[in-house]
Amino acid sequence: MMGDAEQEKVISLDRGLFFVSYKSADDLASPPHVRVAPTEGHEGRMELILHPDATEPTLWAPNSGLVARVNTPGTLQIQVQPMRPGGSRAAIVRIEPIQPGRAPGAAHSERAVLDANVAMEGLKVLGHVASRGDVVVGPNVWIAGPTAPSRVEGIALDWPERPAGIDIRYAVQFANGQAGGGKMVPLGTYAGTRGRALPITGVVLEVNGAEGFEFVAEATFLNAPTLRAVGKRVVLSGPSSREPLVGIRIGVDRIAAADNVVVPGKPAQKPIDSGRVRVFRSPARQESSVG
Please, are residues 272 and 88 in contact by the beta-carbon 8 Å criterion?
no
Please, are residues 271 and 3 in contact by the beta-carbon 8 Å criterion?
no
Q: What is the pLDDT at residue 194?
A: 87
Please, are residues 9 and 279 in contact by the beta-carbon 8 Å criterion?
yes
Please, are residues 157 and 259 in contact by the beta-carbon 8 Å criterion?
no
Which of these ranges, 100-104, 165-169, 236-240, has the smallest mean pLDDT?
Answer: 100-104
pLDDT, mean of residues 117-130: 75
Give the whole-angstrom CA distance, residue 24 versus residue 104.
38
In terms of average pLDDT, the best of 2-6, 180-184, 212-216, 242-246 is 242-246
Q: What is the pLDDT at residue 255?
A: 63
Residue type, 228: R
**Domain 8-100 maps to which CATH number in 3.30.70, 1.20.1640, 2.60.120, 3.40.50?**
2.60.120
The 277-281 sheet, strands edge to edge: 46-49, 64-70, 16-25, 91-98, 286-290, 277-281
DSSP label of 262: P
Q: What is the pLDDT at residue 264?
A: 36
Q: What is the pLDDT at residue 271?
A: 35
pLDDT, mean of residues 245-269: 60
Q: Give kind and range of the element (H or E) at residue 186.
A: strand 185-186
Nearest one of 171, 70, 78 to 119, comparing CA atoms? 78
Instruction: Please state the φ and ψ torsions of residue 91, each to the nearest 5 degrees.
Output: -150, 160
The full set of domain ranges for the chain reads: 8-100, 119-255
Does residue 65 carry a pLDDT above 50? yes
Q: What is the pLDDT at residue 238?
A: 93
Q: What is the pLDDT at residue 15?
A: 86
Give the whole-angstrom CA distance, residue 24 versus residue 19.
15
Higher local confidence (pLDDT), 27 or 154: 154
Q: What is the pLDDT at residue 112?
A: 31
Q: Per-residue confidence at 27, pLDDT binned at 50, 70, 90? A: confident
Give the whole-angstrom CA distance, residue 155 versus residue 152.
8
Does residue 108 carry a pLDDT above 50? no
H helix and E strand count, the chain = 0, 23
Residue type, 118: V
Q: What is the pLDDT at residue 270?
A: 39
